[in-house]
Structure 1
């Protein structure tokens, strides 16, 4: 392609004017030569940056006392970011030429491309100079005598040595008694073989504190005992030497014969020491499973040895069986407050909090979100500051206090520094969202892909790789799961506030991004790469420029003027992701098409009514999310955006239709088949040629179709049935009277797990292939406005045995619903809504064994308490809303409230 560009540039010169062709070509010759060198130079630049990155890794972290070194690292980042911008610009214009057929149109746009590529060549020359400069700086600044690690690195290293955690007195421990008894029970179980016990959780939860207390109490009952702190990189022979030294009660220096032993000899010697002796061994802060598996055979004996492993990684915790794995949780409110008072008021009787400090103390404790490390740190800090005004001041700057505290940061930094570069980017990106914000798995994945944090690997798409990254962060306890979907995948997650504070601090230092209050925007570095304006309220006109901006995340931004957004976008030529979900914006700037690098546009739940035609110029766009906006029709040029992978579009139905149709899809654009990379299409209205267009979209995973009539069913469903990757399907009828026939829906995809159908069905529905041949693959089924037979639950149960989610809304049925013993063995959520014929329910013993949420809403004729509902022991949420007028009374008089005390949430 580069040769084609050069040929085109040459022809441009002749096209400009025959009489001056020679002069023009001579002037262009240097630029042409520079263009020839661009690909090679860019590869060379990447290689040089990789070498510099390796140098930074060798230094350790960015947290070094030596200021010149930190400055040098900052200069490397600036060059790396500049290279990223130049490469994106170059790649875009190459693609633009391909799309426009440049060799056919050089007479019209030739001069434009000459200038574009000449500018790129000039920028590459500048980058080369910058790299030469930072190389010179490295030679001048990175001298061995100047590489002095900071206190954080020292703390991290100290924790990796043979030191034993400080023993904490029983009276200083809070909220651990239950877990201590559980661990103690595992220590003294009747198992004769050696047993592994694991304790996992995020850094700062008190894993080592808990196990230390247990170890000190119980080690006297084990003739051989040893505590070993495991570093992140610790060879097997080094661990075995530590163990042999400790169980042999040796004193420094280590005997020379031990130093000469290899792994085999060390294990043999340890086995001798442990023979016929009961032992207790603690491996503290283990990072990888291999650490244990490389040495575990040294513990094999028949004297009931016990090995306790503490870890912040779930996959290490999985070394133990489920019934010997303890996952620590943050402290609850009362325990957290008690722990804080024990530290803040350690010199007062019973550690009682003075009345005048109660309000601010509770606020401080709430801000720590149950993390013992943060609670103890702030409590100890405030114990020497007994003035209420200082406490208020500390609370106001609590984020800074925690993120800069050496001990807190050192512990949390261990988790961060253990991440690969791609995972670090994904982790830091999460800090751009507000505190406690439930982050959608799908949105995060699409944003990470847009940013280029993940690439495809072998047969896995970038989205699948990104999902793997998300799970890795969760397994490392750096993100918390909020909810799961029907496949058991993470649906939403969030970041612990203390972990977010760390991420924000690192993001600022590494010039990765910034989350700012409105008042602080003028202080933001104008070269910031990612900016969060979430939940802003802007009442005044403010013009700012961020020429290097890659991401703008502005969830819930409220602005009375569009000037701020337009000002930011107009100068952010390299913008990659624009997330404005829940903001009150009403229009998208027409110049958005000039943002050549834009890969993600999120406008969900905004007041936008239309998209500008210029969107057709966004050749790199991957995701367009305009769900629940007021957009009825897509721009005609949307089909030119051939890299589009996720198109999410619908709007709420008006009040007259809302009873049947919750939302309305957008019109299906002409030429939809051009979008061959499309994976998600939600939601489009049926068009005459939709079935034909879909035949070319074989990458589709999720498709939602609205306004379907009976005459559309055969062709449409036949096409959908041939899609090999289809996993989610929604079919919504044109209106309540339209009867759908699913006879032709016989999917070849075994991945189709979610089916949503809205509308009347033809008779004999459950004899159709979607249930007869595919029912066992379905996990999520939502049916509304249809007739399934006398008892829809009884009729459905045999056909869809693996459902985890079932919703029935406006389904005609018999007056009695029966859930027989053993039915729906995997169902976790059951929703029964607006079923006017239902008067009673019967739940057999053994039905719904895994049910967690039961929502019975607007069954106005239900005048009896569901028989057997007290047998649902796994239930966590029970809603019984808008039922028969007498239902509440019946519930109380039947004594059911007492029988259902095992359910945490009941709404009646």
Structure 2
């Protein structure tokens, strides 16, 4: 179903039965036909559009080759977009009228003009719908619903086919995995009889398993390879298995065809009795596939079932010790595979010297995906000229996304998505190649777009985060980094998957990434360079979203605002924007403004008119003061704002908070407030902001601690808290900080302590809930590591910065069992660090920076077997020689990155 149609139908449905518009119409002194008939016409539009939507639900443009049908679907989208615009305008003015007139039901002249205009537009929409209905009758004939070759290729995957056997010499980079799979097959254990192999489409799961299967099946008297794919039935699967394991009774009409599911399971169980078996279920999409047929397989010693899948939750069928997750090939293996295909007729498959640089660039752009590497290598095998290679590199994404074989494999993943997941997936294509997308940003953007309404007790944010995790589990997004709670923090989209998403997004008119020739009626635009062009402006009249993640023209924003009236999302972080025009106040539909790291110095007062604004991000801008009108936006949920810090203060703080006006308490739906300056009345204002989940406070004085911390303690939903003192000499007392929220897992404190110990309630009583802790500027006599390890066993991230007092730090056995990152920085009094055996069993990153008195390698550092990243940057001149003398090198520590 086209995303725009869904949105339109939903929004039209919300208008039906609107008592306000009925009251307005009944109060009119002048009988205006268009206005009186508006509810009736809206109902007619809803029914007609629902009918067309039902048709589109059964058709997807990717599955059609008939241009007439595709054109008709395009016309439906145009009407749906028009309806969406009209309905947004209608709902905005209804809301505005409610707020202005409250209990009064008098329609002012200017209101009459607006609603009359809306009614006229509805008449136009009605005519457009009638037109597309006529076009449907003319264009949409049954014989035109012809599946294209791509569809047939996908369907063949779901038939009883077997992947082409690949010779050993054509396999690259899988030897380790092949040995592991073979070892799992060779054992005689009865438990762990299910093996799963997972990874995104195109990684070579079937290729690997088929190679092992062909080698090892002779050891299994009963063996079968079954391709499951997305479309399957239990009885069809059982029939395939029966046939493969030797059911040959004739005639079939008297045997297998007469069996029901129960009979077939019993027959399979009978034929496998005392016969060691190897069954491969290839391309499984849902765990139910296995559970629906598993009772047909007897638990025989040494028998195995191998499942290949693109989904992590299917891979969870097996024991973790029998799950193999395929990863992209390393650069050397990827280049070797490319050469095997591109130069198959040359001795040793050697790449010619004049092609090597360009060939390397082509392979790197494939990001280790064997499907892409083999496809491009085979295509270039007969075209070994430098200019051809350069041309291929420049259009590599297009070549791959339009290759039938590549697209058929990746499309299977896309077409398995629900409508809301498709929207979220396509949205990711707006970001550049290899761009690390933040979980929090994606969640807020998806919510602003309306992709993820609340479900039951789950907020839209919770639903959006669930969608993100679903795309990760389906291997359609790659995880770059996890946060302290084990959640995805940063993710990215594989380039080939992104090309697929971009291609579909353009075809669906969902979004365009800097392609000015296809912008007509595009709802979302990702632009790298803005072209000042009158004709281009005309194409943007219905634009809803602008995402610009790299520098853009300073004139871009003015151009967009003058061209479009329906913007929902304006994400311009890192752009060259210097000023926000006053005309932004006319963007009544705007829900998200992102100006992070821009050169904007002020926000216009007209921002107070953005009554639907949910998110405002002005972090790291040059804005010094928040406009007073901002606090009239009662729907605001996320406010990110801070000021650049003076270079002299960098050691203590990285940013300054914004001054909080008295109207702050008006924002009662606020969930995020980062960062606000403390004041005498801040505690009172915060008492009305009980929806806050993330709160960062700067410039706290000792006198404000008691009231402020008592208020913070009563916040039921608080999960992230930053507290920064006025300066490094201001001593704060934390006795009153006793959080009621068990969700508070992230705590950042900058400043001295009123008492020289860590024995206060936030640590002693709440410590077990904390996962992330960062302390800066504290003056402590005792060793902080010992105390923190005792009271905070669940920490996964710990940063101690600019701490004074303790000369010796010790990490005892079993301390910090869950810690993954430890940062010790600017601890000027520390001269010794000892690490006991079994300390930090899960640590992956250890960063020791600027400890000038530390004159020897930390004792016991070699015991950190899980370590992946180690940084040692100390000021002592003898440290490097001490490091070399102790022989602490990369091989000993098994650390891929060591900095000394």
SS of the equivalent of 2:306 reads: strand
> CA 1:150/1:539 → structure 2, altered by over 3 Å: closer, same or farther?
closer
CA contact (8 A) 1:483 1:491 kept: yes
CA contact (8 A) 1:175 1:331 kept: yes
Aligned equivalent of 1:446, options 437, 444, 447: 444
CA contact (8 A) 2:235 2:260 kept: yes
- Cα offsets for 1:541-585 (capped at 9, x unmatched): 9973411111100112243xx333211122211110000111121
What residue is the counterpart of 2:637 in the other structure? 645
The Cα of 1:133 is off from its aligned counterpart by 2.2
CA contact (8 A) 2:745 2:770 kept: yes
Aligned equivalent of 2:844, options 852, 857, 872: 852
Unaligned runs of 5+ in 1: 14-24
What residue is the counterpart of 1:389 in the other structure? 387
- Cα offsets for 1:36-57 (capped at 9, x unmatched): 446xx25x53454344333233
Aligned equivalent of 1:591, options 583, 598, 618: 583
SS of the equivalent of 1:116 reads: helix
CA contact (8 A) 1:160 1:232 kept: yes
How far apart, CA to CA, are the structure 1 residues paired with 2:145 and 2:536?
42
What residue is the counterpart of 2:8 in the other structure? none
> CA 1:151/1:576 → structure 2, altered by over 3 Å: closer, same or farther?
same
CA contact (8 A) 2:713 2:738 kept: yes
The Cα of 1:388 is off from its aligned counterpart by 2.4
Aligned equivalent of 2:351, options 329, 350, 353: 353
Aligned equivalent of 2:376, options 375, 378, 385: 378
Aligned equivalent of 2:872, options 854, 867, 880: 880
How far apart, CA to CA, are the structure 2 residues paired with 1:212 and 1:140?
49
**Correspondence 1:361-510 to 2 at 5 A:** 361-510=359-508
- Cα offsets for 1:517-551 (capped at 9, x unmatched): xxx53x242321100014x3879999734111111
The Cα of 1:694 is off from its aligned counterpart by 1.2
The Cα of 1:737 is off from its aligned counterpart by 1.4
SS of the equivalent of 2:525 reads: strand
The Cα of 1:65 is off from its aligned counterpart by 1.1
How far apart, CA to CA, are the structure 1 residues paired with 2:404 and 2:307?
26
> CA 1:250/1:91 → structure 2, altered by over 3 Å: closer, same or farther?
farther
Aligned equivalent of 2:602, options 604, 610, 615: 610
CA contact (8 A) 1:622 1:644 kept: yes
**Correspondence 1:195-274 to 2 at 5 A:** 195-248=193-246, 250=248, 254-274=252-272
The Cα of 1:105 is off from its aligned counterpart by 10
Aligned equivalent of 2:720, options 716, 728, 747: 728
Aligned equivalent of 2:281, options 256, 276, 283: 283
> CA 1:705/1:528 → structure 2, altered by over 3 Å: closer, same or farther?
same
Aligned equivalent of 1:704, options 684, 696, 700: 696
The Cα of 1:651 is off from its aligned counterpart by 1.7
Aligned equivalent of 1:180, options 162, 166, 178: 178
CA contact (8 A) 1:632 1:666 kept: yes
CA contact (8 A) 1:851 1:874 kept: yes
What residue is the counterpart of 1:17 in the other structure? none
Aligned equivalent of 1:162, options 160, 163, 166: 160
How far apart, CA to CA, are the structure 2 residues paired with 1:250 and 1:455?
54
> CA 1:3/1:161 → structure 2, altered by over 3 Å: closer, same or farther?
closer
How far apart, CA to CA, are the structure 1 residues paired with 2:363 and 2:635?
48
Deviates more, 1:46-55 or 1:647-656: 46-55
> CA 1:448/1:668 → structure 2, altered by over 3 Å: closer, same or farther?
same
Deviates more, 1:641-650 or 1:125-134: 125-134
How far apart, CA to CA, are the structure 2 residues paired with 1:358 and 1:120?
62
What residue is the counterpart of 1:78 in the other structure? 78
TM-score, normalisation: structure 1: 0.94
How far apart, CA to CA, are the structure 1 residues paired with 2:471 and 2:832?
46
Aligned equivalent of 1:553, options 532, 541, 547: 547
SS of the equivalent of 1:81 reads: helix
What count of residue pairs does the alignment treat as equivalent? 883
> CA 1:901/1:452 → structure 2, altered by over 3 Å: closer, same or farther?
same
What residue is the counterpart of 1:333 in the other structure? 331
What residue is the counterpart of 1:323 in the other structure? 321
> CA 1:251/1:125 → structure 2, altered by over 3 Å: closer, same or farther?
farther
What residue is the counterpart of 1:532 in the other structure? 526
Aligned equivalent of 2:856, options 856, 864, 877: 864
What residue is the counterpart of 1:314 in the other structure? 312
CA contact (8 A) 1:541 1:563 kept: no
The Cα of 1:92 is off from its aligned counterpart by 1.4
How far apart, CA to CA, are the structure 1 residues paired with 2:819 and 2:249?
59
**Correspondence 1:111-150 to 2 at 5 A:** 111-150=109-148
CA contact (8 A) 1:286 1:309 kept: yes
The Cα of 1:381 is off from its aligned counterpart by 0.8
How far apart, CA to CA, are the structure 2 residues paired with 1:854 and 1:49?
59
User: Is 1:800 aligned to residue 792 of structure 2?
Assistant: yes
CA contact (8 A) 2:768 2:792 kept: yes
TM-score, normalisation: structure 2: 0.95
SS of the equivalent of 2:889 reads: helix
> CA 1:309/1:349 → structure 2, altered by over 3 Å: closer, same or farther?
same
What residue is the counterpart of 2:832 in the other structure? 840
User: RMSD of the TM alignment (CA)?
Assistant: 2.0
How far apart, CA to CA, are the structure 2 residues paired with 1:609 and 1:501?
37
How far apart, CA to CA, are the structure 2 residues paired with 1:286 and 1:7?
56
SS of the equivalent of 2:790 reads: coil
Deviates more, 1:545-554 or 1:352-361: 352-361
Aligned equivalent of 2:749, options 746, 749, 757: 757
> CA 1:4/1:356 → structure 2, altered by over 3 Å: closer, same or farther?
closer
The Cα of 1:345 is off from its aligned counterpart by 1.2
> CA 1:252/1:841 → structure 2, altered by over 3 Å: closer, same or farther?
farther
What residue is the counterpart of 1:894 in the other structure? 886
> CA 1:384/1:220 → structure 2, altered by over 3 Å: closer, same or farther?
same
The Cα of 1:899 is off from its aligned counterpart by 5.8
CA contact (8 A) 2:854 2:874 kept: no
- Cα offsets for 1:832-880 (capped at 9, x unmatched): 1101001110000010000011111111111011000000000011111
The Cα of 1:666 is off from its aligned counterpart by 0.8
**Correspondence 1:765-784 to 2 at 5 A:** 765-784=757-776
The Cα of 1:599 is off from its aligned counterpart by 0.5
How far apart, CA to CA, are the structure 2 residues paired with 1:192 and 1:698?
55
Aligned equivalent of 1:511, options 506, 509, 515: 509
SS of the equivalent of 2:898 reads: strand
How far apart, CA to CA, are the structure 1 residues paired with 2:399 and 2:321?
39
What residue is the counterpart of 2:34 in the other structure? 31
How far apart, CA to CA, are the structure 2 residues paired with 1:242 and 1:46?
46
CA contact (8 A) 1:204 1:412 kept: yes
How far apart, CA to CA, are the structure 2 residues paired with 1:816 and 1:252?
83
SS of the equivalent of 1:77 reads: helix
How far apart, CA to CA, are the structure 1 residues paired with 2:202 and 2:47?
38
How far apart, CA to CA, are the structure 1 residues paired with 2:49 and 2:93?
24
How far apart, CA to CA, are the structure 1 residues paired with 2:350 and 2:468?
43
How far apart, CA to CA, are the structure 1 residues paired with 2:580 and 2:416?
41
How far apart, CA to CA, are the structure 1 residues paired with 2:802 and 2:408?
56
What residue is the counterpart of 2:53 in the other structure? 53
CA contact (8 A) 1:784 1:810 kept: yes
How far apart, CA to CA, are the structure 1 residues paired with 2:48 and 2:247?
51
How far apart, CA to CA, are the structure 2 residues paired with 1:901 and 1:458?
49
What residue is the counterpart of 1:64 in the other structure? 64
